[in-house]
């Protein structure tokens, strides 16, 4: 692990441990390290005895990709040969000696229910289309302008039969127009999760 130490943001881990991390998502979880041709895994498990990364790439064998415990309560591993879509979990042996499989709390992608594994996934390659907005924002002083924020749940606010995911398909055209008519300058979306809570008529 000594050879890979420079690829671990110890400052962000320190801030995480004192509750002041601002970019924990960029440090923890699974991230590609292009210079190494590997993926870095970091998970916080201070009371664990052993942690391994298990997944499609190693036959879900906990003995093949054992993680190394750092002195910050964080376990780390660097694994080559992974690609987007590979499923994985953390195999964690707790202080009581029991071993459990846990999904990655910082994963960028995951299986659809009822499956629960995390997925190796890169956030690169997305084409953002907010250049005009960013240019306009530079010429404005948002601290001297009124702010109206609309918060909504993604499984509400539209009369569409079916699960919440269908509502997302309406947003590129209908939703922004609606906000504009209401003179709302910003909107906040509550997280969308693949659980029974997104099914109309499900347990609330």
Distance CA 15, CA 178 (A): 40
Q: Which residue bears the tokens 């890169």?
A: 122
Does the pLDDT of residue 158 top 60, yes or no?
no
- CB 85 within 8 Å of CB 52: no
Percent of the residues in the chain that have a pLDDT greater than 70, as a whole number: 78
What is the rounded CA–CA span in Å between residue 4 and residue 143?
Answer: 43
- Which range among 44-58, 74-88, 127-141 shows the weakest confidence by mean pLDDT? 127-141
Q: Which domains, ranges and CATH numbers included, belong to the chain? A: 2-119 (2.60.40.10), 131-191 (no CATH)
Residue 162 clears pLDDT 50, i.e. is over it: no
End-to-end alpha-carbon separation of the chain, Å? 46
The answer to whether the beta carbons of residues 57 and 82 sit under 8 Å apart is yes
* pLDDT of amino acid 203: 40
Q: Which residues face 77 on adjacent strands? A: 41
Please tell me whether the overall predicted TM-score, pTM, comes out greater than 0.85 for this model: no
Given this model, what pLDDT does residue 145 score? 78
* CA–CA dist 79, 102 (Å, integer): 18
| Contact between 66 and 21 (Cβ < 8 Å) | no
User: Tens digits of per-residue pLDDT, 20-37?
Assistant: 998 999 999 999 999 999
Cβ-proximal residues to 86 (8 Å cutoff; 6+ apart), any chain: 55, 56, 57, 119, 120
Choose between 42 and 147: higher pLDDT.
Answer: 42
Nearest-CA neighbor of 90 among 74, 112, 70, 72?
A: 74
Q: How far apart are CA 76 and CA 13, in angstroms?
A: 12
Residue 160's pLDDT is: 44
Segment 76-94, tens digit of pLDDT: 999 999 999 999 999 999 9
Mean pLDDT of 102-123: 94
CA distance 150 to 180: 11
Per-residue pLDDT for 159 more than 50? no
Element (H, E) at 14: helix 10-17
């Amino acid at each position: 692990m000594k050879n890979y130490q420079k690829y671990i943001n110890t400052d962000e881990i320190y801030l995480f441990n004192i509750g002041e991390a601002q970019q924990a998502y960029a440090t923890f979880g699974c991230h590609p390290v292009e210079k190494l041709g590997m993926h870095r895994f970091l998970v916080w498990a201070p009371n664990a005895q052993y942690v391994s990364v298990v997944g499609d790439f190693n036959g879900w064998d906990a003995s093949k990709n054992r993680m190394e415990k750092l002195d910050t309560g964080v376990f780390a591993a660097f694994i080559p040969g992974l690609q987007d879509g590979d499923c994985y979990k953390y195999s964690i042996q707790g202080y009581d000696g029991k071993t459990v499989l846990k999904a990655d709390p910082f994963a960028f992608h995951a299986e659809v229910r009822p499956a629960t594994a995390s997925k190796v996934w890169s956030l690169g390659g997305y084409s953002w289309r907010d250049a005009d907005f960013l240019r306009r924002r530079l010429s404005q002083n948002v601290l001297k302008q009124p702010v109206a924020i609309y918060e909504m749940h993604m499984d509400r606010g539209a009369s569409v039969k079916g699960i919440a995911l269908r509502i997302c398909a309406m947003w590129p055209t209908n939703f922004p127009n609606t906000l504009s008519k209401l003179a709302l300058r910003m909107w906040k979306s509550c997280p969308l999760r693949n659980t029974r809570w997104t099914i109309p008529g499900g347990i609330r």
